[in-house]
Structure 1
Amino acid sequence: MSRRVGWIAAASTALAAGVAAPAAGTADAVAPAIAWHDCWAGWGTKCATVRVPLDYDNPRGATLLLDLVKMPATGPQPRIGTVFVNPGGPGVRATDFVDYASRHLGPTVTARYDVIGIDPRGVGQDSMMLCHNDNPEPTPAPPPFPVTWTQSAAVWRSAQWVRTGCKENPNPIVAHMSTADTARDMDLIRRALGEPRLNYYGASYGTYLGATYASMFPDRVRRMVLDGVVDPVAWATGATGEAATLPVTTRVRGAEGAYTGLVAALRECDRLGRRQCAFAGNAPGKWRQLLARAKAGGLQVNERRMTYPALVQSTLGMMYEDDYSLLAQSLQAIWVENFRRVDRVDPRLVQALDRASRRVDEQPYAAPSATRGPVTETVDAFHGVACADSRNPRERIDWWRAGQAQDKQYPWFGSLWTWRSATCGNWPIVTKEDTWVRPFGGRTSGPILVVGNTYDPATPIHGARAVVRRFDRARLLTYAGWGHTAIGNSCVTAAFDTFFASGVMPAPGAVCRMDGPLFSGG
C-alpha cells in the first residue's frame, strides 16, 4: 500500500509492558503559555506551538510540541468564547479544518467565537509518530481487503510488517497517543486560554474525542456538537465479550451504513431517471453486473483491470459526499465500457475514483470537507490512535470470520470495513496505558447536540442514537440524507448557529432535509 515507505506510524515499546491505571485529568500539569503569530498573509489565522506533557502520569517529565491554529472571531458583537474543532480521521490535522469550520458552524461562530484546531498527538509536524522497520515492506501491495482466504494472508502480512516496526523501533510518542491523551491536551489548552468550560465541534472520529472528553470531564462541558457519530463503547471495547471476536471497524457498523445507503441511493437513482442520475435504468441490476464482472476478473476501466476490492472501495469513497452525481457518472461510464463496448472512461472520472479509494484507505473516519488530497504523512496515525483506543481479536482467522459474516449481512462492504483495522491485531499493549475504557456517558454540565445521517456510509445513525442514550443532556438532530457528516447543510447550520448562540437545541424529533437532490445531473 502506498501509505508506507520505510518510516511508519506505530506503537512504542520503550515503556515496560503492562497496563497501569491511567491519569484521570490535567490538574497536576502546568498550562502552557500560548504565543500566537500570523500564519499566512491574508488568511487571518493565527498559529502557535505549545508544549504539553508526553505522559500525564508524569506531568513534570518529558514533553512534546503540539501545533495550534486559531481563526479569531470577526465581530463586531462581543466575543462569546472559543470553539475547539476536530474533523476526525483519526490522524487528520485539525489545524487544516479551522477555516472551513469557522465558515460552516454558523454566523454566530464566525463572528463571536475563536475557532481553534489542535493537531492531535502523532499527527502534527512537531509530534509525528514514527516506527522503523529494517525489512522492506512486503510486495506486491495487498488488496484493500481480501476476497479469498489466501488473499487474507497478504493483508495480514502487511499489517504484521507495521506491527513489527512498531514493536521493535518506535519513537516514544506512540505510547501516548490514545484519544484520552488528546482529550487531556484539549483540556489543558482550554485552561491556558482561560476558558472555564469547553465548546466543541467534532466530526466522525472527532465525535469519539468529544464523547471521551465529556465522559472524563463532565463538569467542563459548555456546548458540544457531535456530527457523524461513532458509538464510543463500540469503538473502545464493544459489548461484553465482543472484543475477543469482533474488530473495532466491525463493531461500529460502517458496513451496515454503506450497504443500506447504497441500496437506497440506487433506488433513488432509478426514481429520478437519466436526466438527473447517469446510472439510472435498472441501477441495482447494473451495479450487480459490475460486481460480478469484477469478481470474475474481467472488469475493465480504460482497458485496464479493476479488481472487485478496488471497485467497492472507490464506490464507498464517493459515498462520503452528499451529492452522488460523480459516483453515478463514474459507474455508468464503467458499465458502458464493459457492457456496451463503446467509449473509454473519462480520465477525470478515473482520477476521481482513485482519489475516493485513497480517501477511504487513509482517513476513513473523517469529514469529507477536511480532505485536502492524500495526506500520507498522517495515515498511520489512524492505527496509532485507533489501535491504542480499542480492544481487538488477535488472529487473522478472527478478521476473516468477522468479514465473512458481515458480507452475508451487509454485502460488498462487510470485509472492507472489517479489514480496515487488521493492523490492530496484537497491537503493543503498552500503547493502551492511558486509554479511557471507563463508562461513557452520564450528566454533563452543558448540552450535547448530536447529529446523525440516515444513510451515513461510515458512521450510521445507530452511533448517534447510542450517544443520546448514554448522555443525559444529549439530543438527536436527524439529517435525512446521504453522505458522511452533515456539516454544510443549511438546516443543520441553522441549528448549529442557534445552539452556539444560546445553547438552545432543536425540538425533540427534529429532522433536517437535504438542500438538493442526491443526483444533480446525468
Structure 2
Amino acid sequence: MRRTGPISGRRRRYAAVAAVALVCSTALSVSPLAAAGGGPSPAPALDWKPCPKDARYDCATATVPLDWADPGGRTIRLAVVKRKATGPGRRVGTLFFNPGGPGGPGTVQMPQNYATFPREVRERFDIVSWDPRGVGNSTAVDCFASPEESEAWVASRPAGFPVGERERAEWIDAYRELGRACERRDPELLRHVSTADTARDLDWLRRAVGEPRLTYLGISYGTILGATYAGLFPDTVRALVFDSNIAPSAWTGDRPGQDRLPTFLRMGSDGTAAATLERFLSLCGSTTVARCAFSAGGPRATREKFEELTRRLRERPVGAWTYARTVADTVNSLYVVHPGWTELAARLQQLWLGRAPGTSSAVAPAPVPVPYTGDEQAAAVFCGDSPNPRDPGVYHAAEEAAAARHGDTARYWTWAAEPCATWPVKGADRYLGPWNKPTPPVLVIGTVYDPSTPYEDARAMAAELADARLLTHRGYGHTALINPSGCVQDHVSRYLLDGVLPPPGASCEPGLPPFPTPEPRGGIATGGGGTAGAVRQAP
C-alpha cells in the first residue's frame, strides 16, 4: 500500500527528497502494439521534449492499449521521463528504471534519486523511467471526487495499523469502502493494472526508444516486475539488476498453505523489520547521544528504552503520535540510513520526553507538485496480483501469531495486506510463472538488514531464476541504490556496461555506517566501507 506496503513507506520518503520532481505532460501520437501473441506493430516513436520544470530531463506521454489482448479498444496514457547519458560519445544505450511500490511514480522518483546511480552508469546510459499504468501522472486509479474526499477517507482509518476491536472494525470498513468506491469509478481500469500489463508496457517502451534488448534496474517491487518481464520476454533481455527482492513464490503464494498467510508474512517482512530495528537500537546504544539521540548508553538499555516507549504510547499517546503511528514511522524510517536513522532517533527521543516530534528540517519541497498517489493506486496492483486471505477476521490472529515471533513490527506488516481482504477486483492478466526461462545472467542484490524485503528473498529470487548471481550487501536500509556502497556500485557498473558478474559469494560493506563519527573538520569517516557516492536526503 502507499502508506503500508513495502514500497509505501519508501515512497513517502522519496516524495520528501530534496530533489527534482517532474510533471511529464508532452503528448505524442503512437500506434498501439498488436495483441499479445499476434506480433508487434512497427516500433512507435516517442516525441521527447524538455520537461517543463527542468530542462535537464526530457518528457513524453505514450499511448498504449488498456488491454493488450484487445489493442483496438480503450487506450491509456503513460508518463515517461528520461535523463540523457552525460557522456554521450561513450553511450551504451538505455537503462530502464522502476522505483518499486507497487505504485511508485518513476517521473518523480527517478529524478529524485538520479544522483545515487553509479557515475559510470549515468555517463554511459540514458536513464528512462515512467509512472506505471494506474499510477501518478499516467492514467491513474483515483477513487475520490476531490482532495477533500480523499483526506476525509484517510482520516477515517487508524494511523499505522489498528489497535483494539474498535479500530480493527474502523480499518476494515475504511478499506472495504475504498474498494467499493474504486469499483464504482472505473472497474475496467482496475482489472488491467497488473504486473504483467506493466511488463508489456515496458516492452513497448523498450521498442519505442529503439533498444533491441532490455537493460533494466528494478528495486523492491520492481524486482517482481523485472522477473515478470523475463518470463514474458526472455529473448529480449540484455541485462537485469534486481535490488531488494521479493521472492516470486512469495508474491504468487503458489506453494501449499501460503495463500493462508498475508503476502508480507509470506515474504518475511515481519522478521526482517524486527532484525533491522534491533540492529538500529543496538548501534544507537553503542554510541553517544551526540550521534544517536535515543541512545541509553548501551545496546540492551536502548532496546529496553524503546520497549518502554511503546508501552507508554499504548496507554498515553503524545498528541497524534499513537503507539501504532510510532511503530509504522519507525519501520518506514529504517528504509534510508542517511539521514533517516539519525532523524528517527531524534523523533523517538522527543516522544520519550513527552513532546510531539516536528517536521524534519532536512526535507525540502519539490519544485513542482507531485502527482496524486493515493492508497488505491498501490492496492489496485498489489491486491489484484498477489493473493491474500479474503476473510478480514483472520488478520488479527495472524497479527498476534507474528507478533509473538517478531514483536511490534509484525503488527505493522500483517495489517499492511489486510486491504486486499475486501478488494473487489483481481487482475485479468496475472503472471504466475514460470520464473526460470533462460535469459542472460541476472544480477540480484540483497541487503542483510532491510526492513522490508528480507535477504532470504534475494536468495530465493536468485534460486528461482534460470541464471542469476547473488551479491550480498552487508549493510542497512531498503535497497542498495539509495543506501549506496561504492563496492555495490562498482559491481553494478561492470555488469551493466560489460556483462561482468561479481564472483560467486561476493559481498560488499556499506559505504557509510550508521551514526558515523564526525571528523574534526566537519568531514565524516566512512568506516572503510568504500565511497558512499552522492546520497539524496530521503526520508
CA-CA distance at 1:168 after TM superposition: 2.9
Aligned residue for 1:46?
58
1: CA distance, partners of 2:424 / 2:317? 40
> Which SS does the other structure have where 1:48 is aligned?
strand
Tell me the CA shift for residue 434 of structure 1.
Answer: 0.3
Which of 314, 329, 347 aligns to 2:358? It is 347
Distance between the aligned counterparts of 1:114 and 1:315, measured in 2? 36
User: d(CA) in 1 for partners of 2:241 and 2:37?
Assistant: 22
Kept in 2, the 8 Å contact 1:82–1:195? The answer is: yes
Distance 1:159 1:348, change over 3 A: closer
Higher mean Cα deviation, 433-442 or 23-32?
A: 23-32
- 2:275 equivalent to 1:264: no
Counterpart residue number, 2:452 = 458
Letter in 1 for 2:173: R
Q: Which runs of 5+ in 1 are unaligned?
A: 4-22, 339-343, 356-369
2:515 corresponds in structure 1 to 519
Give 2:225's aligned residue: 209
Deviates more, 1:141-150 or 1:206-215: 141-150
Structure 1 residues 249-307: Cα deviation after superposition (integer angstroms, max 9, x where no partner): 32222111110111122122222343432222221111111011112x2243xxx2531
Alignment partner of 1:290 is 2:286: no
- TM-aligned CA distance change 1:225 to 1:139, over 3 Å: closer
Match of 2:107 among 78, 84, 95: 95
Give the conservation status (yes or no) of the 8 Å contact 1:322–1:481: no
| Structure-2 change in CA distance of 1:376 and 1:59 (3 Å) | closer
**SS of the counterpart of 2:174?**
helix
- Sequence identity percentage: 37
Code of the residue aligned with 1:256 in structure 2: it is G
Q: Does 1:246 align with 2:261?
A: yes
Equivalent residues of 1:451, 1:464 under 8 A apart: yes
Once the two structures are superposed, residues 12-51 of structure 1 have per-residue CA deviations (whole angstroms, 9 ceiling, x without a partner) of xxxxxxxxxxx85673556433111111466321111111
Question: Which amino acid in 1 is paired with 2:227?
Answer: A
Q: Mapping of 1:442-457 within 5 angstroms?
A: 442-444=437-439, 446-457=440-451
Q: Write the distance in 2 (CA, Å) between the matches of 1:241 and 1:150.
A: 30
Aligned counterpart in structure 2 of residue 435 of structure 1, from 430, 433, 445? 430
Partner of 2:177 in structure 1? 161
Cα deviation, 1:137-172, whole Å, max 9, x if unaligned, reads 496432421222332111100111112113333253
Query: Taking structure 1 as reference, are residues 139 and 123 closer, same or farther at Cα in structure 2, changes over 3 Å only?
Result: closer
Q: Aligned to 2:408, what secondary structure does the other structure show? A: coil
**Does the aligned pair in 1 maintain the 2:137–2:371 contact within 8 Å?**
no
- SS of 2:336's equivalent in the other structure is coil
The 8 Å contact of residues 442 and 471 in structure 1, kept in 2 or not, is answered as yes
CA-CA distance at 1:329 after TM superposition: 2.0
Deviation of 1:99 (Å):
3.1
Do the aligned residues in 2 keep the contact of 1:252 with 1:459 (CA within 8 Å)?
yes
Residue 325 of structure 1 pairs with residue 342 of structure 2: yes
SS in 2 for 1:395: coil
Change (3 A) 1:375 1:41: closer
- Counterparts in 2 of 1:378 and 1:306: CA distance versus 1, 3 Å: closer
Corresponding letter in the other structure for 1:285? E
Change (3 A) 1:169 1:42: closer
Q: Is this contact kept in 2: 1:50–1:65, CA < 8 A?
A: yes
CA RMSD of aligned residues (A): 2.8
Q: State the number of aligned residues.
A: 472
State the distance in 1 between where 2:480 and 2:154 align: 39
After TM superposition, the structure 1 stretch with the greater mean CA deviation from structure 2, 199-208 or 376-385, is 376-385
Q: Does 1:381 align with 2:377?
A: yes
Match of residue 19 from structure 2: none
Q: Letter of the aligned partner of 1:95 in structure 2?
A: T
**TM-score normalised according to structure 1 size:** 0.84
Q: Are the aligned partners of 1:108 and 1:500 in contact in 2 as well (CA < 8 Å)?
A: no
Change in Cα spacing, 1:482 to 1:497, as seen in structure 2 (3 Å) is same
**Separation in 1, partners of 2:38, 2:132:** 16
* Cα pair distance change 1:397/1:379, threshold 3 Å: closer
Partner-residue secondary structure (3-state), 2:56: coil
1:219 matched residue in structure 2: 235
Task: Kindly provide the CA deviation profile for residues 161-211 of structure 1, in whole angstroms up to 9, marking residues without a partner as x.
Answer: 112113333253222100110000000121222211100001111111111
Q: Identify the match of residue 190 of structure 1 among 200, 206, 212.
A: 206
Aligned residue type for 2:125 = Y
Query: Contact conserved, 2:248 with 2:435, CA < 8 A, in 1?
Result: yes
Distance in 1 between residues matched to 2:145 and 2:420, nearest whole Å: 17
Q: Which amino acid aligns with 2:273?
A: A
Map residues 21-420 of structure 1 onto 2, 5 A cutoff.
27-28=39-40, 31-40=43-52, 43-100=55-112, 102-131=114-143, 137=153, 140-170=156-186, 172-243=188-259, 245-280=260-295, 281=297, 282-295=301-314, 297-300=315-318, 304=319, 306-323=321-338, 324-335=341-352, 337-338=353-354, 344=355, 347-348=358-359, 376-420=372-416
Secondary structure of the corresponding residue to residue 64 of structure 1: strand
Alpha-carbon distance in structure 2 between the residues aligned to 1:348 and 1:101: 21
Are the equivalent residues in 2 in contact too, given 1:66–1:124 (CA < 8 A)? no
Secondary structure in 1 aligned to 2:453? coil
Work out whether 1:470 is the aligned partner of 2:479.
Answer: no
Letter in 2 for 1:159: Y
Deviations 1:294-337 (A, max 9, x none): 12x2243xxx25311011011112111123222222222322x1
Residue type at the aligned position of 2:249: V
Query: Cα gap change, 1:293/1:374 in structure 2, threshold over 3 Å: closer, same or farther?
Result: farther
For residues 469 and 369 of structure 2, the distance between their equivalents in structure 1, rounded to whole angstroms, comes to: 34
| Paired amino acid for 1:330 | R
Q: What amino acid does structure 2 have at the position aligned with 1:290?
A: L
How many angstroms apart in 2 are the aligned matches of 1:328 and 1:452?
25
TM-score, normalised by the number of residues in structure 2: 0.81
* Alignment match of 1:492 (pick from 467, 484, 488): 488
Structure 2 unaligned regions, length at least 5: 4-34, 519-539
Q: Secondary structure of the equivalent of 1:121?
A: coil
Distance 1:118 1:490, change over 3 A: same
Q: Is the 8 A contact 1:449 1:474 kept in 2?
A: yes
